[in-house]
Structure 1
Amino acid sequence: MSNLAYDTDPTEAGGASAEDIARLNSLRPIPRISIHAFCETESVARPIERAADDRRMSKAHLRVAMGGLEGALAHYATSPTPNLIILESRAEPKELLHSLERLAEVCDPSTKVVIIGHYNDVWLYRELLRFGISEYVVAPVSLADVIGNIAQIFVNPESEPLGKTIAFIGAKGGVGSSTIAHNVAWTMSTAFSTEVVVADLDLAFGTANMNFDQDPAQGIAEAVFAPERIDEVYLDRLLAQCAEHLSLLAAPSTLDRVYDFDTDAFAQIIDTAQRSAPLLVLDVPHVWTGWTRNTLVEADEIVITATPELANLRNTKNLVDTLRKLRPNDRPPHLIINQAGVPKRPEISPGDFTEPLGLTPLAIIPFEPQFFGNASNNGRMLAEMDAQHAIVKTISEIAHIVTGRSEIKTRAKPGLSGILDKLRSKKK
């Protein structure tokens, strides 16, 4: 038994419209550049300020000031210009062109300039491009407009597309997040015939090597402790082949050293892995550190796995609330309720569990210890044990949703708790 549903409307996440979120998800991260914006109206300044907090802009340095073109002229009379200047101007077309001639006198030739104007004038647009302006945008602008125009200038469209990162984390230890992550990754690789890399980030206690029946001599530890060596060639040598289209960056799962990492310890590994495969599954351990927070913030999709009890509900709410603040322009995390219907265990009903979260569960997976245990003990995936099992079909649907290949909008059924009660009674 399983119940699948899509998350709440993205607009409920706050920060960006559903259309903006869709546009933002298609953009690659902005490189390490400096950006100054000089605005004349709050309606233009606000989306630019919000852009500074977007995860795609995490490497860029963006500063917003009021004053428009005159403010920029005064500032750059004594200061060097950045990589990009964004200027809002309400001036008429001819007056704007005259003012830009003054800006050219204090602007470095390598600096790009984007103008946000208030005149929808084809002649002005052509004159500005001829003048050397990188882009002219007519106000009002959205968050997606701001980041999209920056990406258009500084992200090479001919570069290889970055792989999509899907981070799995448990609301508590032992909820089955790693098992679900590994099975979803295996399903992606087989069902879509596309390259998938699984990165086990739990260096001390990771289980990916056992679940995939692998014992590689090297893995993710060699990369994280030698960041100066990381490139696509070196990373390829560290990958263990688990299936035709599935590779693993295995954790050493030993305690012969401590694993204390800097905040950006895994950033370069993830960036490199993204250039190596279309899909990157991150098995994130249940800890809260600088690097786990950064890893979740930078991921394209986040899946939280929880069991239906109080500590899981508290931890899930903390995660969801924190990630909504850290990722205001992204979808909220997906939620999977796992191990539902444990015999004689008091449980929180799906409705009571999800109501304070503002989410509908992506999947509700029943407690099937024999099925999961047999797969784990044999180093096999669930689909390899029984391809027709209902839980295997659920895993397949999860894989389709988190990769954007389908949207399941069926809401949780009112009688779901009754079905769970029947399931419990059968197991007594």
Structure 2
Amino acid sequence: MSNLAYDATTDSDAVSENEIAAMSELRPVPRISIQAFCETESVASPIERAAADRRMSKAHLKVHMGGIGTAIDFYHSAQTPNLIIVESRDEPKQLVAELHRLAEVCDPSSKVVVVGHYNDVWLYRELIRFGISEYVVAPISMADIVSVISSIFVDPQAEPLGKSIAFIGAKGGVGSSTVAHNVAWSMSTLFSSEVLVADLDLAFGTANINFDQDPAQGIAEAVFSPERIDETYLDRLLAQCAERLSLLAAPSMLDRTYDFDAEAFTQIIDVAQRSTPLLVLDVPHVWNGWTKNVLTQADQVVITATPELANLRNTKNLMDTLRKLRPNDGPPKLVINQAGVPKRPEISAADFADPLELEPMAVIPFDPALFGNAANNGRMLSEMDAQHAIVKTINEVAHVLTGRSEIKSKKKPGLGDLLERLKLKK
């Protein structure tokens, strides 16, 4: 914010990398009602796009064309929402006078954000003195709107929400759960951070086997008793896998069917994020309302695939769909698993990644002895061989997902590589 007013940037349909980075730090907006009254399309458009952002999924936002006068007429016969956003092209003194008229029809508890076209010290101070929550100078971007709303309704003194990372396989059997569990273990041991693994595959989940746990209760008790979910109740359902790693295990039984509505896991995830810095969501390879919702709302998504054609098709479909569902976030991360299976025709990592337009976060080679021994003993890979190259790759994935490092670009062989090889031959 400048010393005059919130200094916004020009909006565009494309979200810049800086905006994505800024919005990644914002926490979800609570369940509030918001109504915007806009005089120009350049202000209405970013507000409408903000309504579709995942951080605004709980809020109800409606945009009306028309400025303060339209808002005054509207609230003569309607209840005012939690937040009113009004755009005005009026000169400063006229704007203040119009806001006095608006105050006469507004509930005192409603907050107001003004989008104006004058960057004026006197106006800004007068509006804040008058009780306006924020004054934003047009033009504005979608990121500006989400940031302003978040700053008003999210308590800056509260503990930050934990980061949720959802893992899903492009097909069944590609090792998504194994990757998820081992990355979670690495996060807890490398960074001394509390990590919670939630196995969302209630029918066939393997987290309890991989971590050698047999808890009497788990995620089924939470999802079938949503009215009881709070931090205390959730804590009683957790199995302790290591000093800083907890598991919300799936029953892995077929004594009932597991048909859920789209919001079935939302409250569980919200409560878990309030108490754990890192939440790893092991999402089964199915496509329905609740898996779509979990993947849309997660802070980060990781797709695990093996290097063959059906996996490439499914990964492309998932990538394209999630980019549309999460337009203001970076693309999902990709892990290519089980590379180099003997005698199996497969797609190279470069050719697999090319149509996806992203660099794989990791390429994990096929090693049945390492993975098989770990699975049969209920141990993580690093417990079997901490110095193994695959374990080091898993550790690199943990660094990337927690923001401690970036994906390393795999450069294609060029003249420099050729010269190096020639030197070695001498």
TM-score normalised by structure 1 residue count: 0.92
What displacement does 1:263 show?
Answer: 0.8
Aligned to 2:423: none
What displacement does 1:20 show?
Answer: 1.1
What displacement does 1:408 show?
Answer: 3.0
Aligned to 2:226: 227
Residues 1:260 and 2:259 aligned together: yes
For residues 412 and 393 of structure 2, what CA distance do their matches in structure 1 show?
16
CA offsets per residue over residues 235-258 of structure 1, 9 Å max, x none? 111100000000000001111111
For residues 401 and 214 of structure 1, what CA distance do their matches in structure 2 show?
28
Aligned to 2:107: 108
For residues 280 and 34 of structure 1, what CA distance do their matches in structure 2 show?
28
CA offsets per residue over residues 18-66 of structure 1, 9 Å max, x none? 1111111111111111101111111111111100000000000001121
Spell out the pairing of 1:13-162 with structure 2 (5 A cutoff).
15-162=14-161
Aligned to 2:424: none
CA offsets per residue over residues 179-216 of structure 1, 9 Å max, x none? 00000000000000010000000011000001001111
For residues 350 and 87 of structure 1, what CA distance do their matches in structure 2 show?
51
Aligned to 1:167: 166
For residues 365 and 204 of structure 1, what CA distance do their matches in structure 2 show?
27
Aligned to 2:347: 348
What displacement does 1:15 show?
Answer: 4.1
Aligned to 1:314: 313
CA distance 1:304–1:414, shift in 2 (3 Å) = farther
Aligned to 2:278: 279
For residues 170 and 342 of structure 1, what CA distance do their matches in structure 2 show?
18
Amino acid at match of 1:39: C
Aligned to 1:304: 303
Aligned to 2:3: none
What displacement does 1:160 show?
Answer: 1.7
Aligned to 1:178: 177
Contact 1:175 1:339 in 2 (8 A): yes
TM-score normalised by structure 2 residue count: 0.93
Aligned to 1:335: 334
For residues 234 and 83 of structure 1, what CA distance do their matches in structure 2 show?
31
- For structure 2, the residue ranges without an aligned partner over 5 or more in a row are 1-12, 415-426
CA offsets per residue over residues 104-130 of structure 1, 9 Å max, x none? 111111110000111111110000011
Classify the secondary structure of the residue corresponding to 2:126. Answer: helix
Classify the secondary structure of the residue corresponding to 2:36. Answer: strand
CA offsets per residue over residues 375-410 of structure 1, 9 Å max, x none? 111111000111111110100010010111111332
What displacement does 1:412 show?
Answer: 4.8
- For structure 1, the residue ranges without an aligned partner over 5 or more in a row are 1-13, 416-428
Aligned to 2:203: 204
Contact 1:360 1:412 in 2 (8 A): no
What displacement does 1:411 show?
Answer: 2.7
CA offsets per residue over residues 201-236 of structure 1, 9 Å max, x none? 001100000100111111111111111111111111
Contact 1:230 1:272 in 2 (8 A): yes
Aligned to 2:420: none
For residues 21 and 45 of structure 2, what CA distance do their matches in structure 1 show?
20
For residues 120 and 408 of structure 2, what CA distance do their matches in structure 1 show?
43
Aligned to 1:364: 363
Classify the secondary structure of the residue corresponding to 1:317. Answer: helix
Amino acid at match of 1:253: S
CA distance 1:411–1:45, shift in 2 (3 Å) = farther
Classify the secondary structure of the residue corresponding to 1:202. Answer: coil
CA offsets per residue over residues 55-92 of structure 1, 9 Å max, x none? 00000000112111122122112212111110111111
CA distance 1:244–1:413, shift in 2 (3 Å) = farther
List structure 1 segments (4+ residues) > 3 angstroms apart after TM superposition.
Answer: 412-415
How many residues are matched? 402
What displacement does 1:414 show?
Answer: 4.2
RMSD: 1.1
Contact 2:68 2:88 in 1 (8 A): yes
What displacement does 1:289 show?
Answer: 0.9
For residues 119 and 193 of structure 1, what CA distance do their matches in structure 2 show?
49
Classify the secondary structure of the residue corresponding to 1:401. Answer: helix
CA distance 1:236–1:412, shift in 2 (3 Å) = farther
Contact 2:359 2:409 in 1 (8 A): no
What displacement does 1:279 show?
Answer: 0.2
Greater Cα shift, 281-290 or 62-71 = 62-71
